[in-house]
Amino acid sequence: MSADKDLVSVQQARDLVEAAHRVQGELARFDQAKIDRICEAMARAALREAARLGAMAVEETGFGIADDKREKNRFAAEDVWNYFRGLRTVGVVSESKDVVEIASPRGVVAGIIPSTNPTSTAIFKILIAVKSRNAIVLSPHPSAARCINESARVMREAGAKEGLPAEAIGCMTSATIEGTETLMKSKQTAVILATGGIGLVRAAYSSGKPAFGVGPGNVPSFIERTADVPKAVQDILTGTCFDNGTICASEQAVICDAPIEKAVREQFKAQGGHFISSSEADQLAGIVATPQRSLNPSIVGRSVEVIAKMAGFSVPPGTRCIIADVGGVGRDYPLSMEKLSPILAFYVVDGIQQGTERSQEVLHYGGMGHTAGLHTRSREVAVRVGSELPASRITVNTPTTHGAIGFSTALPPSMTLGCGSWGGNVTSDNVSPLHLMDIKRVAFETRPVKSSRPAVTAREISQPAQPTHSPAPSRQPVVSASGGKIDREEIAAIVDRFLAGRRPEELEPSSPLAPPPRPIEVEAGSMYSGPSSGARDSNRTRPGNGERPGGQDPTSVRTGTTVSNGRSEVDFVSEDDVRRAIQKGEKIYINAKTIITPAARDIGEPAEVFAKA
């Protein structure tokens, strides 16, 4: 029977992700107005059904309090949507003179939904996925599959009325480990939003796909000696008792500064906290932890009465939270772990340093990177303690449950809280639509890059050669290819030899004996038409251009007096020589003694005409 369930789950995952992928292209073409209309309709529908969905979640899972579930659903549907309503997720999302940012959807999102916060997490993930133009397929925890599917149905139908393809929101009805892994590893899945146990989050990260996973939250709350004690206690009880402690950001341990210990204990008793004896603490530890020192799921999200009865003791009427003095942190102290229920470990420290160190210990025991709480009247203390704690969110003077998710703080509202590298997560952010978009950046040059060679335009290269009749003497010094100075008498002798050897067809264009200049031939693969296939060999035979078979075109460059590797090296290069070489697509082979006129060098070097034989 188990194998049959796995096969059904695997096939369902394949079908849903394929359907979502088919409509992803359509969804990606929606404009901002249409996306926002769809999200508005889905948010309103979820808000209308918040109470019913909350009651369904408690009925199906047995976790939490129905009215608190309703409030979490309202938060996901209303507060989250209101916060991101004006966020641009289509086309150009940011623009300056130098950089233009353009948003692209990632693709199909695999959303893994837990049993502790099933309906609110489903509402949240559907909203942020569609807002960023992504289709989404949900894999529900098996113990909450019915209420999660109902949440998806409510939002799917509302979105469809505004033009959302129905296949853009999928939800598995039969979710097994094998089916969930199939969904995460599908080649058509673009990104994973994983909320659940550490094993599932690790599976998401090992799937080979980009994944936003969240880790456990063993949250310490340090009451520093300057704190407003009544409010601090009130905030801690509000947080840890909300929905029976099922939010991972709920307080798990109170760390009390010694000078205010008595006042803190009195306030807890006055506000519904019940301190148990050491023997009762041992009994409680026996049902909180399994023999393997993992959390017993039977106590998650249960009321204090149910938990006390399971442990074998009773609590006074009106008790909101069970509090136990604990001697340390770690495997030998089961009550020091994350309990996800209205149970608090209680520690006493002396001073800020000890309070910080104890908070660090609690975080290291299953809460790395998640959340920590601090109650103090000193902003300086808050920053000092916060800078030393390995937590992504340090909430100050507020319930950690509500502060971490952005309900009572200015943090982005979210039901998926990253734990950063401390918790093995890819982000320390409160996950939002921003994490489900790829941003392309069109960047314009702001600082020109210096080059050793000036840019040469096509017009400069194709400019006809200037007449060679007696020009005005140049004042520029003549240098050799190696940069050394040449004796002027030697220059004169070389020029005389050069002029004496000119052929009739090499006369200046104004002579009636000279042939008309040939136009530049732009060939495929040349520097003018695209990527070059390699440097041209000036000795290569090109029939039809007047070359002598097996030799060099006599009109290209002056023949030199030395030969290297079968290639003639020239003694002197003029501007006309360079222009002819460029027209023919040839190289001019030079050596250390070759004389190059300044005009020839200015044209030839950018065009890469010169080569060493």
Are 152 and 126 in contact by the 8 Å Cβ rule? The answer is: yes
- Here the tokens at position 33 are 């107005």
Residue 45 DSSP code: H
Q: How does 505-520 read in b/e, with b if 16+ C-beta sit within 10 Å?
A: ebeeeeeeeeeeeeeb
CA–CA distance, 18 with 575 (Å, rounded to integer) = 66
Paired with 170 in beta bridges are 137
- Transcribe 341-359 into DSSP letters: SSEEEEEEE-SHHHHHHHH
Q: Which residues contact 570 (CB under 8 A, 6 or more apart)?
A: 557, 558, 559, 560, 577, 588, 589, 590, 594
| Nearest to 558, CA basis, from 526, 600, 523 | 600
Paired with 458 in beta bridges are none
Q: Return the C-alpha torsion angle 574, 578, 581, 587, nearest 10.
A: 90
CA 142 centroid distance within chain: 30
CA–CA distance, 202 with 192 (Å, rounded to integer) = 12
CA–CA distance, 495 with 477 (Å, rounded to integer) = 15
CA–CA distance, 317 with 336 (Å, rounded to integer) = 26
| Nearest to 169, CA basis, from 38, 58, 70, 73 | 38
Distances (CA, A) of 590 to 481, 547, 554, 562, 595: 7, 20, 16, 10, 9
CA 195 centroid distance within chain: 18
| Nearest to 430, CA basis, from 368, 369, 357 | 369
Phi-psi region of 487 (alpha: psi -120 to 50; beta: other; left: phi over 0): beta
Are 536 and 587 in contact by the 8 Å Cβ rule? The answer is: yes
Catalytic residue among 39, 147, 248, 419: 248
- Here the tokens at position 552 are 């060099």
Phi-psi region of 107 (alpha: psi -120 to 50; beta: other; left: phi over 0): left
Strands 595-596, 479-480: parallel, antiparallel or unpaired by DSSP?
A: antiparallel
CA–CA distance, 178 with 240 (Å, rounded to integer) = 34
248 is catalytic: yes
Active-site positions read 248
